[in-house]
Structure 1
């Protein structure tokens, strides 16, 4: 399994030298995707190559038949039995009791689909990155060239920085689609993680949204009276009803007790995912708010770029920021994360000079047009 993570899966989530997003974005498609695929493989290995369910054998029913039937058709427990005392005068296990007609049953069928659902969720977390990477088209990589390398000839750096500055200057105002595609995928990350929490809640019988808090409350309760919330969602012992013909031709009913060893793994996986997704959702929500702030607050954009260009003269940064709108600023900020700080300083100097030249040319053109009109 380690070789699998270090091999094919490691190549899928490898860190790239060119950064086109932020750390929180990478937590979605790198860390979360890897975790979900790993959990899916873990569940698959124990579910299809192990013994995920074991049922009490009846003499008249072959054990493999009973076990297969209960696995395929699901098992159940009795919610009212959770509040009864486990012991000689109570119930044999939490949620297990003698069934009386009309009593409510809770059926469990999800465990057959856990490995598939986890894999599909992994693809869902990778999808926003795939969309952004497809739309980005390697633009940052093409503009950075090899200016991320610290050891470069200064004349070569100045030449390449001038080319990039020329591109930014001649394409001012044309990067709106590029910028808002990133905003869309960043928002999609937030929508996706919230959707996965809600879908998992539905998948686990509407008990997942409070799963983490219930487990924390359970750990603080008296061990003699507390009722493990994990056993409600992921019971280890359940019941299964099997009907078959008897020797006289009448239908006979058998109640079997089944041990779901698979749920020992499932409960650990989903308690980890609950905390991981909650933290990820909160962080991504803050990131979306931060992105909206950069759109609406030019001053914030100015501060952020100045922080990235600490070794650059303040007047150079100011002259550049006077011409950059939100979309153009985003592209320049992307370059700042990939260029070496020294090379980025040269780039900003070239960009400032390019803007000054462009402004001077426009001013000269207006003066010539004014003189022509006067004549």
Structure 2
């Protein structure tokens, strides 16, 4: 009677292992940054729409729902000159908030000097800074999540994506018999040998770029695209704010923790995400335009300020990781011997002369193809696939060489025969 344990092939791949066409650096963007953006987007959206978004006071003429909706839609603001003022000034209820028209009185100092108020026409008006980012802040992280995933979509739908069916076939979750497993290995080896053969035949300068080393340029482009996306997110986020720069948001916050630095009197959390703002309502009435100013409290900004602070540190980390990925991917693929040693070490493969010849002569496109397949298969399965592929590729090269030799011999005989007949 056949033992059940003996009937299960030992060379099949883990059925729960997912295939991956990219490396860990690219997965940092499409997995970790993507998931982090989704979580932040869900929390911020819930915070904006499930709780009290804005609460305004100081309006006597207008009804409560009207002035709050008006301020939320038309824009809330702070005053640029009201930042970085010493804390001992009791006239500032909150950074960025001071009366725009403060009454002035002529008075005399104790030493007899008289102070005369300047002419109102000679004083420049205070600068209003409108904070409009809050109107679309709920969708910001959702857009970032999509943007972080776009480079992988381009990478997966390139020629490298053609490796997906081969890897999936060898990662069949069903427990196949040994004969069925060998058939799959034979089929995959035949396809891989044909694919590598196209890389070996690429000889001209244009073929060198479009075929032989095409996968290398795709990988480098993917790394550059990930780096460009991070830079774009930082730049676009910085353009949302006016009071201070988002590019130095985290470093400014760290400096403000000391409390004694002269350049950081107001916290950057209050500058980028004010919790208290001013609003001026202008309404058409029976006697003409009616204006009334008040103050509004933005409670959701407490959560927004800290989420964007965490996001700043994540973006800095992503900037470093993607910059290193560009440098590492560009240089590592140029050292073929080192990649060959890493491949044999990770797959526990001895690496015959024939297999080494295939790896070294198939160009960067062939090497990247072999590396991706090795990363997705068990060592035993990859060893069988690569061994059969090398044998088939060697046979294909020998047959083509024999055909080429026979053609040359026939041509030489045809050239010689007329001379002999004469």
Q: Of 166, 170, 189, which residue of structure 1 is paired with 2:190?
A: 166
1:93 lines up with 2:94 in the alignment: yes
1:198 lines up with 2:235 in the alignment: yes
Contact 1:86 1:94 survives alignment (8 Å) = no
Change (3 A) 1:251 1:29: same
Unaligned runs of 5+ residues in structure 2 are 1-15, 102-123, 200-210, 414-422
* TM-aligned CA deviation for residue 199 of structure 1: 0.7
Change (3 A) 1:58 1:354: same
The equivalent of 2:104 in structure 1 is none
* TM-aligned CA deviation for residue 65 of structure 1: 1.3
Matches within 5 A, 1:116-195: 116-135=139-158, 139-148=162-171, 156-172=180-196, 173=199, 174=211, 180-195=217-232
* TM-aligned CA deviation for residue 86 of structure 1: 3.6
Contact 2:82 2:95 survives alignment (8 Å) = yes
* TM-aligned CA deviation for residue 333 of structure 1: 0.9
The equivalent of 2:323 in structure 1 is 285
* TM-aligned CA deviation for residue 73 of structure 1: 1.4
Q: Deviations over 1:210-267 (max 9, x none)?
A: 11111111123349984211100101111111234689x3644322111111211111
Unaligned runs of 5+ residues in structure 1 are 1-14
Helix, strand or coil at the partner of 1:106: strand
1:326 lines up with 2:364 in the alignment: yes
CA distance in 2, matches of 1:117, 1:149: 40
CA distance in 1, matches of 2:41, 2:386: 47
Matches within 5 A, 1:56-135: 56-86=57-87, 89-100=90-101, 102-135=125-158
CA distance in 2, matches of 1:16, 1:127: 24
The equivalent of 2:312 in structure 1 is 274
CA distance in 2, matches of 1:152, 1:37: 39
Contact 1:309 1:336 survives alignment (8 Å) = yes
CA distance in 2, matches of 1:244, 1:361: 88
Helix, strand or coil at the partner of 2:65: helix
Matches within 5 A, 1:259-270: 259-270=297-308
> How many residues are aligned here?
360
CA distance in 2, matches of 1:288, 1:142: 28
* TM-aligned CA deviation for residue 25 of structure 1: 1.6
Helix, strand or coil at the partner of 1:203: coil
Larger Rg: 2
The equivalent of 1:27 in structure 2 is 28
Give the TM-score taking structure 2 as reference length: 0.76
Structure 1 consecutive aligned stretches of length 4 or more whose deviation exceeds 6 Å: 149-152
1:228 lines up with 2:251 in the alignment: no
Change (3 A) 1:198 1:300: farther
Q: Deviations over 1:259-305 (max 9, x none)?
A: 11121111112111111111112211221222222454433443443
Contact 2:86 2:265 survives alignment (8 Å) = no
Q: Deviations over 1:124-163 (max 9, x none)?
A: 1122222233335853232124434797655544443333
Helix, strand or coil at the partner of 1:261: coil
Change (3 A) 1:104 1:307: farther
Structural RMSD (CA): 3.0
Change (3 A) 1:250 1:359: closer
Helix, strand or coil at the partner of 2:158: helix
CA distance in 1, matches of 2:312, 2:353: 48
Contact 2:19 2:168 survives alignment (8 Å) = no
CA distance in 2, matches of 1:184, 1:223: 43
Give the TM-score taking structure 1 as reference length: 0.84
Contact 1:147 1:340 survives alignment (8 Å) = no
Change (3 A) 1:356 1:188: same
Helix, strand or coil at the partner of 1:257: strand
The equivalent of 1:242 in structure 2 is 281
Helix, strand or coil at the partner of 2:297: strand
